Structures are given as C-alpha cells and as structure tokens.
Chains A and B, each alone.
Chain A
C-alpha cells in the first residue's frame, strides 16, 4: 500500500496541472490571465519572507560554524546515549526544528557513514521524515502576514517535535530491534 502511495504521489503534480486549468477553461475562467495574476501574488510572498529566512540562516550559521553547536552536542551525548539514542543522531535532532537543509545534510551524513540500514540510519530517517522545521516555519508563516506575537504556537510546535523524536526512538527500537 505504501509503495502504491509513493507511486501515486509522483503523479500528483502532473494530475493537478492537467486537471485545474482544464476545469477552469470548462468553467469559462480566463486561465492565462488568472494564472499570471496569481503568480504575481506568489512573487510578492516569496520576496516578503526573505528577511525572515535571512535572519534564521545567519543565526544558525553562526551557532554551527563557531563551534558552539559541537559543544552542545558533546554535552548531550552521554545522557542521551544512556537512554538508548545513538550519539550520531543527536546533532540531527537538535537542528531539525531550526533548519531543514542542515538537518537533511546531517541525515545524508549519517546514511553515508553508518549506512541506511543501521539502527542509526533508520532512526535518523524516521526523525527527519516525521518532524519539521518548526522554528523556521513559524517565523516565515507569521512573518509573511506581519504577526509578531506568536501566542502559544512555538511551544506547541516544539513539544510536538519532541514527541515525534521520542516516538521515533521508541518505535525504531521496537520495530528494528
């Protein structure tokens, strides 16, 4: 069933792309002009999120390249390994809520060094797939509409990620032994 789903997801984009304009034409929508009008709105949105991604990229970069990140990882290694988390997955877990590209790079590194079929490789894959860049998404999404008070969205998202990671560890250990 899952392989069928991934097969199907490849067809999603072409299907949408065929279906929506044809249906629009049938409903007498001026498809070209409407597309251009919508595209202009998209361009404005992409431009508006630039300052937010810039702020986050720089902060994450400084934290990582200064060596502060390595210190944090080393500090957490012993207590986490005692609870059954492979040490090599810790950097990925720490970075995951903040930067999607950085965590993807860390996943690639774990897969390359330890192999995709090791416990570390499977756990890293599960963590990457089941959680998201919460911190980044919130600042971009709220930033794009000018919201500065996030209410309770950040703790909810980060605790959700934490639950996903704890769940990943338990499920992977149980599933892959």
Chain B
C-alpha cells in the first residue's frame, strides 16, 4: 500500500509536469525537498538526543516503571500483549502524554523508542504486531487537548479568540480516535480468527 501511494505520487507528478511542458519543476523540487529532509533530520537529531537522554535517566531511576505501574490497568486493556512491566509501556505512555499536551517535539522520540521496544516482543521482525498497530492508531489520530501550534498560528493572524477551536478540536479528535480504535479492534479480531483457522 505504501509502495503504491509513493509510486502514484511520483509517477502522477512526473506525467503532469511532462504534459504541461514543465520538466524543470521536477528537478527543482528534488533539490529542495531532499535538502528539507536532511535539515529535518539535523533539527530532529538534537531534540531527539536530548529527550532520549532525559528518558534514560527517568528509566534508570525507576520513575517510568512507577508511572507505568499506576496506569497499567488501563493500558493493559488496550495492549494485552505487552507485559505489564515492559519498558515499551513507559515509552508509549510518555508519547501519548506528550501528544495530549501538544508538546509535539517531545512526542516523536518517545514514540520511536516505544516502537523499538515493541519490536523486541515481535516474533516476525518484518511484520507489524497488533500492539504496534494499536499504538499507531492512537498516535496518528493524536488525542490532543491543547493544539499548541494551531493556537499560536491563530494568535499570529490576530484572531479575536485564538483558543475557540479547542473544543471543536477535542470533539473532532474524539471522532477520529474512536473510529480508529474501533477499526483496530475489528481488524485484530479478524486476524486472530484467521490465525485459528490456519
């Protein structure tokens, strides 16, 4: 699916540019966007190294485990395959909390860390596990309480009430999260049934 989407984006772009007699647009874009990707990696490297460093301290001091223990009953319902005291629990909780509070920059390091720890529980390393799918369903539908970037942009464009969209955002987020988690449960069940049959 990813292969197909990527191919369609590239091929459609090239075909349209050629049809419009505008081939230099392609080479320009390639130069600009590859540079953008490298710049992003450099920006991300700093903030990422910082948060994984802080997280390592939190983990070694037993703080993450304590937090995960408190929230374990709830999280266990959503991630039945992950052992209660596994480090992945802590990273996933930190990622979800960071997203919740709109601290986007802090969320990615925790999220990538969670993926690595979930991968340790994966019997087939090239295939996504149900826990990963559920985690990403929660992550991509981003339960957000405070959309910080949007509020900042609205303030900059002189909105008379920059935070008025907070309520609508929370309601809309709820729609996406509920739908994604319901679909996730549905696919999980279907996959389990399929495995029993074979």
Contact = CB atoms under 8 A, between A and B. Distances in A.
A142 B1 CA distance: 14
B101 A45 contact: no
Interface string B90-104: 000000000001110
A20 B82 CA distance: 25
B90 to A, nearest CB: 12
Chain B facing A: main interface SS: helix
Interface stretch (A21-29, A73-81, A82-90): A21-29
Contacts, number: 371
B150 A9 contact: no
Interface size class of B (residues with CB under 8 A): 35 or more
Given A47-B41, A66-B14, A60 B172 contact: no
Contacts of B111: 137, 141
A27 to B, nearest CB: 4
A50 B33 CA distance: 12
* Most B Cβ at <10 Å: residue of A139, A140, A153: A153
A156 B133 contact: yes
A157 B180 contact: yes
A38 B53 contact: yes
Contacts of A9: 101-103, 146, 148
Chain A facing B: main interface SS: helix
Contact of B126 (A3, A63, A148, A155): A148
A45 B52 CA distance: 10
Interface in B157-198: 157-180, 183-184, 187, 191
Interface in B104-124: 106, 109, 111-113, 115-116, 118-119, 122
Nearest to A152: B187
A39 B172 contact: no
B133 A152 contact: yes
A161 B130 CA distance: 19
B175 to A, nearest CB: 3
A62 B116 contact: no
Nearest to A129: B147
A126 B168 contact: yes
B42 to A, nearest CB: 8
Interface in A29-88: 29, 31, 34-43, 45-47, 49-50, 53-68, 71
Contacts of A93: none
Contacts of A112: 157
A155 B48 CA distance: 28
Nearest to B185: A156
Given A62-B13, A147-B125, A161-B176, A43 B148 contact: no
B179 A145 contact: no
- Which 6 residue pairs of A and B lie closest in terms of their CB atoms, listed nearest first? A38-B56, A160-B180, A164-B176, A167-B175, A129-B147, A42-B52
Given A57-B33, A152-B133, 10 more contacts: A38-B54, A38-B57, A42-B51, A42-B53, A57-B36, A62-B17, A64-B13, A121-B154, A132-B142, A147-B125
9 contacts: A9-B146, A24-B57, A37-B56, A66-B22, A149-B128, A150-B128, A151-B129, A156-B136, A163-B179
